[in-house]
Structure 1
Amino acid sequence: MNISNSYCDQSKVDISNVKLNNITQNDVFYLIFEKIFSNPVFSGGALLSVAGFFWYFVDWVWNFGQERFRERFCTSLQLTNENITYRWVIDHINRNSKWETRNLSVESTLDDTSAGALTLKHKFIPGIGNHYFYYKNRVIYFERIRDKRNVNISNVRGDRSNKRMETVTLSTYGGSKEFWQQFLNDASEACLEDIHKGLVIHTNRSDYWVENDNPKSKRALETVVLADGISESVYDDIESFLSSQKWYHNRGIPYRRGYLLYGPPGTGKSSFIAALASTFGYGIAVLSLTTKFLTDTDLNFLLNNAPKKSFVILEDIDAAFKNREKTENDDKKNTVDSSITLSGLLNAIDGITSSEERILFMTTNYKEHLDSAIIRPGRIDFEVYLGHCTPEMIKKMFKRFYENVSEELINTFCEGTSKFDKTFSPAELQKHLILYKNSPEAAIKHVNDLC
């Protein structure tokens, strides 16, 4: 049966204002919302959303207020670790802050002892994040952040190393440019004084140099007792070299000088170098050829990018190659982790890429074990033998240990040592004199302990 379109049109009824079972449209919406909010999951989420928005708003207002307050009433100082005073500022805060932070970072270093053992040293500094410290009647806000970028960092001597970028921002209420200038002067004063008064030691860690935290006390040249004329001759040679740079350049000669100190153990080789460095105002850079995983490339970089104004020392130069040859001849596993070669060492010392303005010291207990190529002229320019105690050395050391000691006691001690069938090193004599440091008579009484 067909129904006309007009009939269908008439059947359309607007029910928007019609009551359905006595319930209005507003009642429908009310029932829907009531049903929704009666659900604990939905109502809890809505409450958390409102609370989160409120907390975000409060945090934004607080940060905005802090920023405006700092801009108007505070002064700030920003430093990156590209600046040579960065580490000094960190250490200065660590030493002088009256409030100790609980947020710490640790810097650990692994050192080799003379006996070949490893020691681990730790140094604590303010960690990454925010800190407060008290300085000259001011509360200073201190923020330290670390970037993902790497930068080349230079220290006070111009030595460079690759490290992660760090920034420190210091802020205080009031303050001035003069206040921050004084702060930086105070931070650097102690470090510069240590550098000036102390002997700075650098050691290598694979392919980069590390400066020891605390410089050692400088040693006077006269405190190292050697055979007559040795100390003076080496001193005069270094002094002549340091004043001859123009002479070398005018003649096309590489401006480098190499010294070999050889002789039995305990004869003062390292002590003599330290005293020379102290006298000339130089530091020391000790390059270990047995450092784990050291390669020819690393050696070349280290030797030719040594810290400025430092004597470079290759201690026990024979040991690295002697141990390697022994294990190869015995057809055993090589116990030396470094992979340097003799040709790599020779190229590093005086190859085409070798640096100038360098003073290099090599030490060995066994000169006869060295390859002749190592000690040829141009690589080694001055050889010095340091031997066991001579009568004159014994007399000098005894007199130095005991102030105002009589000539009679000095002669008695020297006569006692002259009866020995064997010689002894300065280190052995020093050990004996330290044992009886308060009594020269006791040192004489027990002189036979030296033999």
Structure 2
Amino acid sequence: MDIGNLICDNQKMDLSNIKLNNITSDEVFQLIIEKIFANPIFSGGALLSIAGFFWYFVDWAWSFGQQLFRERYFTSLELTNENMTYRWVVNHINQNSKWETRNLSVESTLDENETGVTSLKHKFIPGLGNHYFYYKNRLVYFERTRDKRNVMVLDERGSSLSKRMETVTLSTYGGSIEFWRQFLDDASKEFLDAMDKGLAIHINRSDYWEESGSPRRKRAMETVILADGVSESLHNDLKSFLTSASWYHDRGIPYRRGYLLYGPPGTGKSSFIAALASQFGYGIAMLSLTNKFLSDSELNYLLNNAPTKCFIILEDIDAAFKNREKVEDEDDKNTVDSSITLSGLLNAIDGIASSEERILFMTTNYKEHLDSAIIRPGRIDYQVYLGHCTPEMVKKMFKRFYENISEEYIDKFSEATSKFEKTFSPAELQKHLILYKDSPEAAIEHANDLI
């Protein structure tokens, strides 16, 4: 081995070590960075990462600034469809918005007019998404969203409905609590006025209540012709009950009242209830017991969670159980109209979980078919018989149909009808008078058509 070359190599190694020992840590880090950024793949990724971070920071700062601005200078109102004013607000916005939206939702209802003609009506309201409208010279931002959850909601009349959860959020620059209170008052005014002027009818759909079309025209008490004293006596009893809440509570008596109207078909049972509801400012909740899908538990819920300030009506109370008796006699070969039981009905009426402040009406054409347990005191507190026309009822109805009619004509018609051996109902008499509504003479002449 060449000793000279070995000495030279050792000297180079010593010099290299000396150079490394003399480099500072900052210089080493700088060399590493230079090597890394010399790689085009890494340098491109690093630039993207820096750009992404910068964009994220800008977006965060913008969102934070917006949130801070909205919290300081904006006021918001949030409503869900669990609140009865929800539909009022949505309809009010739809009617008063100056900017017509192309994003719509439709609500379709069946409507029956006074002549019995049924039509389909459509109401268009702002759909899901974002909208804008003006209120008191303020631009209001309106967002409508829908959740996947189903909730039991109340409509504007207190009816329970099962619907998807919806939320409306209203925001405006400035504003105050008083601003939103005034907005809600304006949105509800039209509907509250309609409730005062009309008679709301609710029907049951399985286990929830639903309003049946638009409110009906209220019926005046004098338009229901009954035997002398019948209308006045029930009216006075109901009036006394409505003003006796404290009396009931002080004595530990459940504050509820039950009425039974019975008699032949067409004697004005339903009309009388409608007139009473109109007189006292109540709605009507009609509960059908012949619905074969109605169970005892659903009946109990409906009867004790009826719309507020409504008379609950069980029409033709005998029908459900009469049909069941037929089926039992035929060894269950046919399908029953209802799955509720007598014990289920009795428990719903006055069981331990029964609601108070309730007014219940039952009607039947055949009182003798009713189980005595249904009409015992505490379930039925007042019974009224509505029968066929008496001579006084005939005179009252004839006079009501023809304005400024003379007593001579009234007496002639009453005399003509009083000779019949067969009696007739108010509904039959009304049909006859409508047929000859333009001629009292013709009504008298054809009086025999009533038999």
Give TM-score, length-normalised by structure 2.
0.77
Letter of the structure 2 residue corresponding to residue 184 of structure 1? L
Unaligned runs of 5+ in 1: 1-5, 7-31, 34-55
Q: For residue 223 of structure 2, what is the aligned residue in structure 1?
A: 223
Moved more, 371-380 or 133-142: 133-142
Q: In the TM superposition, what is the alpha-carbon distance from 1:214 to its structure 2 partner? A: 2.5
The aligned runs of 1:166-177 (5 Å cut-off) are 166-172=166-172
Are 2:432 and 1:437 equivalent residues in the alignment? no
The aligned runs of 1:86-235 (5 Å cut-off) are 86-107=86-107, 123-133=123-133, 140-151=140-151, 153-154=153-154, 163-172=163-172, 179-235=179-235
Q: Secondary structure of 2:422's match?
A: coil
- Whether the 8 Å CA contact 2:106–2:123 is kept in 1: the answer is yes
Letter of the structure 1 residue corresponding to residue 382 of structure 2? F
- Whether the 8 Å CA contact 2:132–2:141 is kept in 1: the answer is yes
- Whether the 8 Å CA contact 1:206–1:292 is kept in 2: the answer is no
Q: Secondary structure of 1:441's match?
A: helix
C-alpha distance in 2 between matches for 1:306 and 1:351: 16
C-alpha distance in 1 between matches for 2:439 and 2:111: 37
C-alpha distance in 1 between matches for 2:355 and 2:69: 53
Q: Secondary structure of 2:77's match?
A: strand
C-alpha distance in 2 between matches for 1:174 and 1:251: 53
Per-residue CA deviation, residues 429-448 of structure 1 (Å, 9 max, x unaligned), is 11222233233233223323
Q: For residue 330 of structure 2, what is the aligned residue in structure 1?
A: 330
C-alpha distance in 2 between matches for 1:121 and 1:326: 40
Change (3 A) 1:225 1:67: same
C-alpha distance in 2 between matches for 1:266 and 1:58: 76
Per-residue CA deviation, residues 101-154 of structure 1 (Å, 9 max, x unaligned), is 3323344568999xxxx9977544322222344556655432100123455545
The aligned runs of 1:18-417 (5 Å cut-off) are 76-107=76-107, 123-133=123-133, 140-151=140-151, 153-154=153-154, 163-172=163-172, 179-331=179-331, 333-336=333-336, 338-417=338-417
Change (3 A) 1:104 1:335: farther
Change (3 A) 1:364 1:182: same
Q: In the TM superposition, what is the alpha-carbon distance from 1:311 to its structure 2 partner? A: 1.5
Letter of the structure 2 residue corresponding to residue 227 of structure 1? A
Moved more, 222-231 or 132-141: 132-141
C-alpha distance in 1 between matches for 2:171 and 2:350: 51
Letter of the structure 2 residue corresponding to residue 378 of structure 1? G
Moved more, 414-423 or 227-236: 414-423
Letter of the structure 2 residue corresponding to residue 127 of structure 1? G
C-alpha distance in 1 between matches for 2:424 and 2:60: 77
C-alpha distance in 2 between matches for 1:217 and 1:177: 36
Q: Secondary structure of 2:340's match?
A: coil
C-alpha distance in 1 between matches for 2:181 and 2:359: 37
Q: Secondary structure of 2:170's match?
A: strand
Per-residue CA deviation, residues 351-382 of structure 1 (Å, 9 max, x unaligned), is 22222222211001111221222122222222
Change (3 A) 1:176 1:446: same
Root mean square deviation, CA, Å: 4.1
Moved more, 360-369 or 96-105: 96-105
Change (3 A) 1:345 1:226: same
- Whether the 8 Å CA contact 2:146–2:166 is kept in 1: the answer is yes
Change (3 A) 1:135 1:353: closer
- Whether the 8 Å CA contact 2:159–2:210 is kept in 1: the answer is no
C-alpha distance in 1 between matches for 2:313 and 2:188: 29
Change (3 A) 1:100 1:333: farther
Q: Secondary structure of 1:194's match?
A: helix
Q: In the TM superposition, what is the alpha-carbon distance from 1:171 to its structure 2 partner? A: 3.8
Change (3 A) 1:257 1:75: closer
C-alpha distance in 1 between matches for 2:81 and 2:176: 23
Moved more, 359-368 or 252-261: 252-261
Letter of the structure 2 residue corresponding to residue 431 of structure 1? K
C-alpha distance in 1 between matches for 2:282 and 2:392: 29
Letter of the structure 1 residue corresponding to residue 343 of structure 2? S
Per-residue CA deviation, residues 32-71 of structure 1 (Å, 9 max, x unaligned), is 99xxxxxxxxxxxxxxxxxxxxxx9999999899878867
Q: In the TM superposition, what is the alpha-carbon distance from 1:181 to its structure 2 partner? A: 3.6
C-alpha distance in 1 between matches for 2:161 and 2:65: 40
Q: Secondary structure of 1:373's match?
A: coil
Change (3 A) 1:64 1:428: farther
C-alpha distance in 1 between matches for 2:134 and 2:246: 52
Q: For residue 35 of structure 2, what is the aligned residue in structure 1?
A: none
Q: In the TM superposition, what is the alpha-carbon distance from 1:191 to its structure 2 partner? A: 1.1
- Whether the 8 Å CA contact 1:200–1:211 is kept in 2: the answer is yes
C-alpha distance in 1 between matches for 2:99 and 2:445: 56
Per-residue CA deviation, residues 230-276 of structure 1 (Å, 9 max, x unaligned), is 11111122222233334434444333221111111111001111111
**Matched pairs, number:** 412
- Whether the 8 Å CA contact 1:201–1:212 is kept in 2: the answer is yes
- Whether the 8 Å CA contact 2:88–2:156 is kept in 1: the answer is no
- Whether the 8 Å CA contact 1:287–1:314 is kept in 2: the answer is yes
C-alpha distance in 1 between matches for 2:71 and 2:406: 74
- Whether the 8 Å CA contact 1:205–1:291 is kept in 2: the answer is no
- Whether the 8 Å CA contact 1:313–1:362 is kept in 2: the answer is yes
C-alpha distance in 1 between matches for 2:272 and 2:329: 35
C-alpha distance in 1 between matches for 2:64 and 2:251: 68
C-alpha distance in 1 between matches for 2:235 and 2:274: 12
Q: In the TM superposition, what is the alpha-carbon distance from 1:203 to its structure 2 partner? A: 1.6
Q: Secondary structure of 1:258's match?
A: strand
Letter of the structure 1 residue corresponding to residue 441 of structure 2? E
C-alpha distance in 2 between matches for 1:336 and 1:241: 37
Q: What percent of counterpart residues are identical? A: 77
- Whether the 8 Å CA contact 1:324–1:334 is kept in 2: the answer is no
C-alpha distance in 1 between matches for 2:256 and 2:169: 43
Q: Secondary structure of 1:83's match?
A: coil
Letter of the structure 2 residue corresponding to residue 220 of structure 1? A
